[in-house]
Amino acid sequence: MELLLPNFGYPFLLIFSRLSAFMAIFPPFAWRGIPVPVRIFFALIISFLIALMWQGERPVMPVGDLSFVLAVAREIAAGLILGFFVSLFLSLFLMAGQFMDHMAGLTMGGVFDPLFGSQVTFIGHFFYLFAVVLFLTINGHHPFFLALQESFRIIPLAGPWFSPALPEQFFKLFAGVFLLAFQIAAPVIVVLLILDLALGFLSRAMPQINIFIISFSLKILLALALLQLLLPYLENMLGHLFAQMAADFMLVMESW
């Protein structure tokens, strides 16, 4: 009983600190509709299983209180950083939808999303929820939990905070997310841009027609029609993106 806390309790506490911080940001669990006790319960169960299956060298409990607090804070920071990466990658679908909404004139129809704590647009919110549902449908969360388990080998418990290469890796990923979001929205953006040019020429040729009012309905209808045409092709594309996201997740951990 005296050896329980150093040999099992301390590694379990560090594992639980990292997992609970990760689940606080991980999109399927970050929704405010999920009660906090449920998130804590899942984090406790997964942490307990990982601690039981632990095969590496167990960290030694520090003697001082400050070292103990810093070790726990380091694991919380690791979980938040890893969870932020997953949230950042999934937010590219929200960003792609917002690009479409901006071109279609739907930015004024935003609604408040408690998950993001801000207003989101119609197509952006739909894209994000569609990506999350598809992510769970194709069991995309399974590789992430396996990678999260692998993170305790790549990022050892009570190890160094992070290397200088980690911020640079995050900047590259952020630029890649922005580029992917624009590529997803590019077909709709290009078609709506062509429509704007056509309506501009029409307004010069027939100034008696109120093109400004007509363009609102046309752009919304065309954006929704293009979105319906793109939906059958999104499943394969999102599958490749989720596989790339898992690979980038491992790359972030290796850059630690």
Per residue of the chain (256 residues), what is the pLDDT tens digit?
A: 444 455 667 788 888 888 888 888 877 677 777 777 888 888 888 888 887 777 666 666 766 777 778 888 888 888 888 888 878 777 788 888 888 888 777 777 666 666 666 677 777 878 878 887 877 777 777 777 777 777 777 777 766 677 777 777 777 777 878 888 888 888 888 888 888 888 878 777 777 777 777 777 788 888 888 888 877 777 777 777 777 777 777 777 776 6
In the chain, alpha helices (H): 4, 10-25, 27-30, 36-52, 65-104, 122-137, 141-154, 165-205, 211-254
CA 15 from chain center: how many Å?
21
**Residue 246 and residue 40: Cα distance in Å, rounded?**
24
**Residue 130 and residue 118: Cα distance in Å, rounded?**
19
Query: For residue 137, what are its two tokens?
Result: 């449908």
The answer, as to whether pTM is greater than 0.85, is no
SS3 118: strand
The DSSP output letter for 57 is P
